[in-house]
């Protein structure tokens, strides 16, 4: 067991290192301690280990339908990228970017013990605190850079840690961490993140009340506590509105006038490009980040993962991607009915990924999506009913 704990700690250290260097580069902040070469060596080690873990699970018949679905999608992305590789692309970097999240999933899924699972969740809660410090350090030290795309999107690192915060039995981590995360999202002004957090809070409140629907006294306490929590959030929001001049409702209203920062025009452009392609491209796509490389979306990504993958990996890749979604939703539904561990956090993760996939891009880059993948792997390894976990904690 000690060996597994060391392995978990080493893997999470490398992931933390990679994520921190990503945030620092988003703000054009570099340090000798965070050399890019070390980061890429760590990524290579993780990808190699992930491939070994997958085939190990395959040989010993420990794979499941979600693991196979992810593997099929990954293979399509690799094949599509290889057959369409251009001089503009670094093939090794493209391979690492495509493989990183897949490798993380298989590595974490290899840790099936309860102790490893609890250790992973604890490490991710600590990682949230570390990333929060790094994020604010970057915001303070480079306000000009904080206005560019990658820097603004760095708040997603905090947001994608949210499932780990709300599954904590420690009230300070659960409520304090959640409040800090929510306030960070509001201050960032990222409308997709704000929409996601609003939906998360609604679902969180509904499911919290449903869990106690047979105990009236407990339900009333939950309602009062959630009301108090929302009142505190509103008070803090009003302070933020005065200090930073941020009006969430005005930002959401502006979606009608600016089309989501021009996203509606980008979506139309990508869809028209999809319809005009040759048959081979319709089936296999044009490869990794081809929307940006070919200038289809005015030199940027599609800002919608469904359109992006339909163009990049064709109809075959798109079907494989949708199949992953189907499997994820089925797991969530079954987990909800069975009162499985961390089902609330899992549903929250699906909400986050859905909203961010509709308005942004998650998978193609080894960034914040990594945290969601870690949580999914933990959830799929969790087979203990919720009431048993609660009984164990009480003892």
Q: Taking the CB of residue 104, how many other CB atoms lie within 10 A of it?
A: 26
Share of the chain above pLDDT 90, in %: 36
User: pLDDT (tens digit, 9 = 90+) per residue, 304-326?
Assistant: 999 999 999 999 999 999 999 99
Secondary structure (DSSP) of 236-295? HHHHHHHHH---HHHHHHTHHHHHHHHHHHHHHHHHHHHHTS-HHHHHH-S-TTHHHHTT
**pLDDT band with cut points at 50, 70 and 90 for residue 384:** very low
**pLDDT top residue among 25 and 172:** 172
User: pLDDT (tens digit, 9 = 90+) per residue, 218-268?
Assistant: 555 555 666 666 666 666 655 655 555 555 555 555 555 544 556 788 888
Does 344 have pLDDT greater than 50?
yes
For tokens 């992973």, the residue is: 120
What number is the average pLDDT over the span 60-68?
Answer: 86
The predicted structure's pLDDT at residue 164: 96
The predicted structure's pLDDT at residue 324: 95
Does 114 have pLDDT greater than 60?
yes
Does 392 have pLDDT greater than 80?
no
Share of the chain above pLDDT 70, in %: 77
Question: Is residue 97 a contact partner of residue 365, using CB atoms and an 8 Å limit?
Answer: yes
Helix, strand, coil percent content, the chain, rounded in steps of 5: 80, 0, 20
What number is the average pLDDT over the span 352-359?
Answer: 92
Rounded to whole angstroms, the Cα distance separating 305 from 361 reads 5
**pLDDT band with cut points at 50, 70 and 90 for residue 361:** confident
The predicted structure's pLDDT at residue 370: 94
What number is the average pLDDT over the span 158-185?
Answer: 91
Rounded to whole angstroms, the Cα distance separating 56 from 110 reads 9
**pLDDT band with cut points at 50, 70 and 90 for residue 298:** low
Residues 288-300: b if buried by 16+ CB within 10 A, e if exposed? bbbbbbeebbeee
The predicted structure's pLDDT at residue 4: 81
The predicted structure's pLDDT at residue 24: 83
Question: Is residue 166 a contact partner of residue 344, using CB atoms and an 8 Å limit?
Answer: yes
Mean pLDDT rounded to a whole number for the chain = 81
**pLDDT band with cut points at 50, 70 and 90 for residue 386:** very low
**pLDDT top residue among 35 and 9:** 9
The predicted structure's pLDDT at residue 345: 93
Question: Is residue 103 a contact partner of residue 47, using CB atoms and an 8 Å limit?
Answer: yes
Rounded to whole angstroms, the Cα distance separating 228 from 230 reads 5
The predicted structure's pLDDT at residue 389: 37
Secondary structure (DSSP) of 208-249? HHHTTTT-HHHHHHHHHHHHHHHHHHHHHHHHHHHHH---HH
**Strand-pair partners of 340:** 385
Rounded to whole angstroms, the Cα distance separating 9 from 13 reads 6
**pLDDT band with cut points at 50, 70 and 90 for residue 127:** very high
Does 154 have pLDDT greater than 50?
yes
The predicted structure's pLDDT at residue 144: 53
Does 385 have pLDDT greater than 50?
no
Question: Is residue 378 a contact partner of residue 117, using CB atoms and an 8 Å limit?
Answer: yes
Rounded to whole angstroms, the Cα distance separating 336 from 320 reads 25
**Strand-pair partners of 297:** 300
The predicted structure's pLDDT at residue 61: 76
């Amino acid at each position: 067991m000690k060996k597994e704990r060391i392995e978990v700690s080493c893997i999470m250290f490398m992931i933390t290192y990679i994520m921190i260097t990503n945030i620092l580069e988003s703000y054009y902040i570099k340090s000798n301690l965070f050399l890019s070469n070390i980061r890429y060596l760590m990524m290579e080690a993780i990808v190699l280990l992930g491939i070994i873990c997958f085939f190990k699970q395959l040989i010993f018949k420990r794979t499941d339908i979600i693991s196979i679905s992810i593997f099929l999608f990954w293979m399509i992305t690799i094949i599509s990228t290889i057959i369409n590789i251009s001089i503009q692309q670094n093939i090794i970097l493209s391979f690492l970017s495509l493989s990183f999240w897949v490798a993380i999933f298989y590595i974490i899924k290899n840790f099936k013990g309860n102790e490893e699972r609890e250790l992973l969740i604890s490490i991710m809660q600590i990682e949230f605190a570390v990333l929060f410090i790094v994020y604010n350090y970057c915001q303070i030290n480079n306000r000009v850079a904080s206005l560019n795309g990658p820097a603004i999107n760095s708040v997603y690192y905090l947001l994608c840690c949210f499932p780990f915060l709300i599954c904590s039995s420690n009230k300070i981590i659960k409520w304090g961490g959640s409040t800090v995360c929510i306030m960070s999202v509001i201050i960032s002004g990222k409308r997709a993140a704000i929409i996601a957090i609003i939906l998360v809070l609604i679902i969180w409140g509904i499911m919290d009340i449903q869990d106690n629907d047979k105990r009236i006294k407990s339900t009333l306490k939950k309602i009062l506590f959630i009301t108090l929590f929302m009142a505190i959030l509103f008070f803090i929001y009003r302070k933020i509105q005065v200090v930073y001049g941020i009006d969430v409702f005005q930002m959401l209203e502006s979606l009608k006038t600016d089309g989501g920062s021009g996203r509606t025009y980008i979506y139309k452009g990508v869809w028209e490009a999809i319809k005009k392609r040759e048959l081979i491209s319709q089936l296999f796509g044009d490869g990794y980040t081809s929307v940006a490389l070919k200038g289809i979306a005015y030199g940027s990504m599609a800002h919608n993962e469904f359109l992006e993958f339909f163009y990049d990996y064709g109809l075959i890749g798109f079907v494989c991607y949708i199949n992953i979604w189907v499997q994820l939703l089925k797991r969530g539904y079954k987990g909800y009915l069975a009162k499985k561990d961390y089902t609330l956090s899992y549903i929250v993760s699906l909400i986050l990924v859905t909203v961010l996939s509709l308005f942004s891009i998650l998978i193609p880059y080894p960034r914040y999506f990594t945290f969601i993948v870690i949580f999914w792997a933990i959830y799929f390894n969790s087979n203990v009913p919720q009431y048993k976990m609660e009984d164990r904690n009480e003892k």
